[in-house]
Amino acid sequence: MTTATDGADDLKSLFDPDMAAAMARMVEIVEEKGLTPPPPNPDPIYVRERMEDERAWWNEDLPEMAEVLETNIPGPGGDLRLRILYPEGDRPMRTIVFYHGGGWVIGSLETHHRAMRCLAIRSGCAIVAVDYRLAPEARYPGPLEDCLAATRYVMRHGGELGLDTSKVVLAGDSAGANLAMATALRMRDAGEDPAKALICFYGAFGVDFDTSSYDRFGDGTFGLGRAMMVWFWDLYLRDKADYDDPYAVPMKANLAGLPPTHLYAAGLDPLLDDSVSMSAKLRAAGVPGQFKVYPGVCHAFINLTRMVKQAHELIDDASVVIAEHLD
């Protein structure tokens, strides 16, 4: 006879050992901080604050940078904050414009700070991290317009900041990967150079919530769940028409003419099939790039560099690809 305990043990067996230890640490952090489970349809501000609390430990013990510059540029909704991370090296520097994840609703430059520092050091690139507006206060296309404005600013004025504007890559994780691809699509359609490559970590590209990966990993056991993704999309998009907008939902876009696009996915992620399907669409459209799945790890694992070796492997793999395009 199969019991509920047997099922839990089966799920635990899927975890990479580092990932299992990281999940246990997440539980400890929640207990240490006295955090209560979010209610159904929670207040986005509460969820943002909770994420900042949960991610604080993961962003301690930061690797050293040569310089960290905080600056504001003109944005569609007012001042737009950029954080530029400079590793050691000569300037002007090769550049990664990075859009953080968080379902367009949560997440910040702080929740992703350690991962971005690691990526800057491994790649030898300056990272321009974009503090775009969040939904639902700024629904689509607000966050995308911010990312587009920041990218265009880097392309046109990056030299003033010690950035090599001829060697730029766009990157992001989860909703940030969606924004990276949408930014490239908008720039392509405007006749602009959309950068040398796209680097997409476990992207949210489509709105099919009945894929096999959603069915297998979407109950919340592995962190991100189906209900949360539905909530994110509902807060990001304005109405039903947006679900068919290719800049909001890149899975519905004509992908031909994008720069080389590299996709990296987590093996225990409800969004895994988003990357599988997007990889097939990109290759069918003639867009070259790498696709790799990291087994036994969950969504957002790039932010677990303090405990998960595959987070560093992911950063190393992306850094090699970035160097191939920019050197």
- For 5-37, letters b (16+ CB in 10 Å) and e give eeeeeeeeebbbebbeebbeebeebeeeeeeee
> Distance between CA 64 and CA 160 in Å, rounded?
23
Over the Cα atoms of the chain, what is R_g? Answer: 19
Is 113 in the active site? no
Helix (H, G, I), strand (E, B) or coil at 76: coil
> Distance between CA 326 and CA 53 in Å, rounded?
36
Is 164 in the active site? no
Q: CB of 199 within 8 A of CB of 169?
A: yes
Catalytic residue among 123, 131, 173, 174: 174
Signed CA dihedral, 208, 213, 218, 220: sign only: negative
> Distance between CA 307 and CA 21 in Å, rounded?
8
Q: CB of 96 within 8 A of CB of 322?
A: yes
Is 319 in the active site? no
Q: Tell me which DSSP letter residue 315 carries.
A: H
Q: CB of 184 within 8 A of CB of 194?
A: yes
84, amino acid identity? I
> Distance between CA 233 and CA 206 in Å, rounded?
10
Tokens standing for residue 112: 């992703």
Question: What crossing angle do the helices spanning 44-55 and 17-33 adopt, rounded to 10°?
Answer: 120
Catalytic residue among 299, 317, 319, 325: 299
Helix ranges restricted to H, the chain: 4-12, 17-33, 44-55, 113-123, 142-157, 175-189, 212-217, 226-236, 272-284, 309-326
Q: CB of 66 within 8 A of CB of 128?
A: no
> What Å distances lie between residue 181 and 98, 100, 184, CA to CA?
11, 13, 5
Catalytic residue among 131, 269, 273, 274: 269
- Residue numbers annotated as active site: 174, 269, 299
